[in-house]
Amino acid sequence: MDIIPAVDIRGGRCVRLTQGDYARETVFEEDPVAAARRWADLGARRIHVVDLDGAKGGKPVNDAIVRAIAASMPCPVQTGGGIRDIETFRSMVAGGLDRIAMGTAAVKDRALLRAIVAEAAPHLIVSVDARDGRVALEGWTEATDLDATDFIRELTDLGVQRVVFTDISRDGVAGSPNFEAYERLTRETSMAVVAAGGVSRVDDLRRLAECGVEGAIVGRALYTGDVDLREALEVLA
C-alpha cells in the first residue's frame, strides 16, 4: 500500500482544513513546494497536491505552485481541485502531473467523464467525497443525495480505474479512518481505492492495508508528527 503525503494549498500556503471547513484552517508551511520536497526526501513514492481554492472556486487557482511541485519532485505527483473541463485536464497532464483528480465535474458532467476515460483513463482519479455516505461537491460545500457506493459502481461501469474516497467527517481530525467503508468498497466493487481522511497513527495505516486499499493519503498527522513517514514506510514495506 502506498503512503501518500498530502500538500493542500490555500492562498499559496500549505494548510489543512478540519472536516472540509474552510473556516477551520491550520497553516503548516508557507512554502508548499518545500513541504512536498520534505516528504519526497523522506522516501514518499507519490505526493498528493490539492488546490483548495480551485476546488471551491471551480477553476485552478494555485496551478503555478502545483506545476512547480510536479517539476521538482523525484516521484510522481497527483493533483485535484477545480479541474472541470478536458482542456484543463490535458494541460495538467502536459505539465507533468501523473494523475488528475476530478470530483464535482465527474458527478455533474458524465459526457466529460466519458471523454476523459476514453482519452486518458490511467491519468484519471475520481474524488468521491462523502458525508454520511452521500457524495458532497464543490469543495465539500454542496450536499447531494447520491449514495457514494452506488456512484463508485457506476464509475466502474464507465471505465474509471481509480477513486480517492474521503469520509469528510474524519478528515483533518484525530481519530481513525472509516475502516468499515473501505472494507465495503473493496469487497463490493472492483475499483482501485485510495483512502483519505482520518489517519492519526501508523496502526491506522496497517489497518487500511488490511482493508485492501491501494494507497492512503495522509495529511495532518504527518505535519503534527503523529505519523513518522520513515517509520510508516518501513512498517508498510
Residue 174: what pLDDT?
A: 54
**How many C-beta neighbours within 10 Å does residue 55 have?**
29
Tell whether the model's pLDDT for residue 123 goes beyond 70. Answer: yes
- Name the pTM for this structure: 0.91
Tell whether the model's pLDDT for residue 13 goes beyond 90. Answer: yes
Among residues 129, 167, 171, 204, the one annotated as catalytic is 129
Tell whether the model's pLDDT for residue 128 goes beyond 80. Answer: yes
Among residues 8, 98, 167, 204, the one annotated as catalytic is 8
Domains of the chain: total: 1
Residue 207: what pLDDT?
A: 96
The stretch 225-230 carries a mean pLDDT of 96
Point out the least confidently predicted range of 105-114, 120-129, 209-218. Answer: 105-114
Report how far residue 163's alpha carbon sits from residue 183's, in angstroms, rounded to the nearest whole number: 14
Per the structure block, which three cell numbers stand in for 51? 488546490
Residue 16: what pLDDT?
A: 85
Confidence grade of residue 228 (pLDDT, cut at 50, 70, 90): very high
Residue 172: what pLDDT?
A: 54
Residue 171: what pLDDT?
A: 57
Tell whether the model's pLDDT for residue 140 goes beyond 70. Answer: no
Over the stretch 54-98, which tens digit does the pLDDT of each residue have? Answer: 988 889 999 999 999 999 999 999 999 989 999 999 999 999 999
* Beta-strand runs (E) in the chain: 2-10, 13-18, 21-29, 47-51, 77-80, 99-102, 124-131, 134-137, 142-147, 162-167, 192-196, 215-218
Beta bridge partners of 9: 14, 51
Domain that holds residue 51: 2-235
Decide if 115 contacts 95 (C-beta within 8 A). no
Whether 150 is catalytic is no
CATH of the domain at 16: 3.20.20.70
Whether 98 is catalytic is no
Contacts (Cβ under 8 Å, ≥6 apart) of 28: 14, 15, 16, 35, 223
Residue 107: what pLDDT?
A: 86
Over the stretch 148-199, which tens digit does the pLDDT of each residue have? Answer: 999 999 999 999 999 999 888 765 555 689 999 999 999 999 999 999 988 9
Confidence grade of residue 104 (pLDDT, cut at 50, 70, 90): confident
Residue 222: what pLDDT?
A: 96
Residue 29: what pLDDT?
A: 92
List the one residue out of 72, 170, 95, 25 whose CA is nearest residue 9.
Answer: 25
